[in-house]
Amino acid sequence: MSALTSADLIKMFRALSERIEAEKGFLCELDGHIGDADHGIAMAQGFGAVARALDALDPAAISPTDVFNTAAKSFLNAVGASSGPLYATAFMRAGAAFKGKDAIAADEAPAIIEAMARGIQDRGKAEPGDKTMIDAWQPAAVAAAAGREAGKPAAEVFAAARKAAEEGAAATAGMVASKGRSSRLGERSLGHVDPGAASAAIVVAVMAESLAG
């Protein structure tokens, strides 16, 4: 795989917008069990705004950092729910990780997942086990870092991150929420997958398909 350009990242955001739009109903349904049923709408509005903002730009004239910064700004402006600032910070951190570069080397690309996870954790202060999107992002980041540091091919590293995010999201069904809106439910949140963790697994999966394919 060759280095990722701004055009590749814009394509990734377009794929994310399409996929999240398709999963909107499912994500709202999950949020309906333990939250306020708007998570799919929030995520679809956010990624829709990102895709529109990026469509208006010339990929040849902007850096990967500009792409992520544009994504951060549009997502934040479009989303009123808690996921807004969390994903905005994630995109800002991904942008900062590649500052000054014209393209992202293939074997460095999984670091996007690591930077996003750190941003979400710094912003939301959730810990693994709190039943949030961190329960998908954190294991994905650990898998990404381990594979990248071992020098594995990007496709393999992305596949491992995707699997870790999916397993992490599934595991939230066995957790009691202690952060965010669903923490008000206490034990009643048990048995339901966290909507933010479910959407995180989708985001990581689409990133893996788009960036490693």
Give the interface with ligand ADP as residue ranges (CB under 6 A).
Answer: 31, 35-36, 38-39, 42, 81-83, 86, 120, 124-126, 132-134, 179-181, 194-197
Binding partner at 46 among Mg ion, ligand ADP, none, C-beta below 5 to 8 Å by kind: none
- Report, in Å, the least distance between residue 49 CB and ligand ADP: 14
193 in Cβ contact with 170 (< 8 Å): yes
Binding partner at 196 among Mg ion, ligand ADP, none, C-beta below 5 to 8 Å by kind: ligand ADP
Taking the CA atoms of the chain, what radius of gyration do you get in angstroms?
16
**Only segment of 27-35, 71-79, 125-133, 151-159 that touches Mg ion (CB under 5 A):** 27-35
Quickly count: other Cβ atoms within 10 Å of residue 99's Cβ: 11
Q: Footprint of Mg ion on residues 65-84 (CB under 5 A)? A: 81
The CB-side HSE value for 162 (13 A sphere, CA atoms) comes to 16
- Report, in Å, the least distance between residue 15 CB and ligand ADP: 20
- Report, in Å, the least distance between residue 29 CB and ligand ADP: 12
Nearer to Mg ion, 35 or 95 (CB): 35
Nearer to ligand ADP, 8 or 31 (CB): 31
**DSSP letters along 102-166, please?**
SSB-GGGTTHHHHHHHHHHHHHH---TTSSSTHHHHHHHHHHHHHHHHTT--HHHHHHHHHHHHH
Applying CB under 5 A, does 127 fall inside the site for Mg ion?
no
Distance from C-alpha of 86 to C-alpha of 157, rounded to nearest angstrom: 24
Phi-psi region of 191 (alpha: psi -120 to 50; beta: other; left: phi over 0): left
Amino acid at 210: S
One of 35, 64, 95, 139 touching Mg ion (CB under 5 A): 35
Binding region for Mg ion (CB under 5 A): 31, 35-36, 38-39, 81
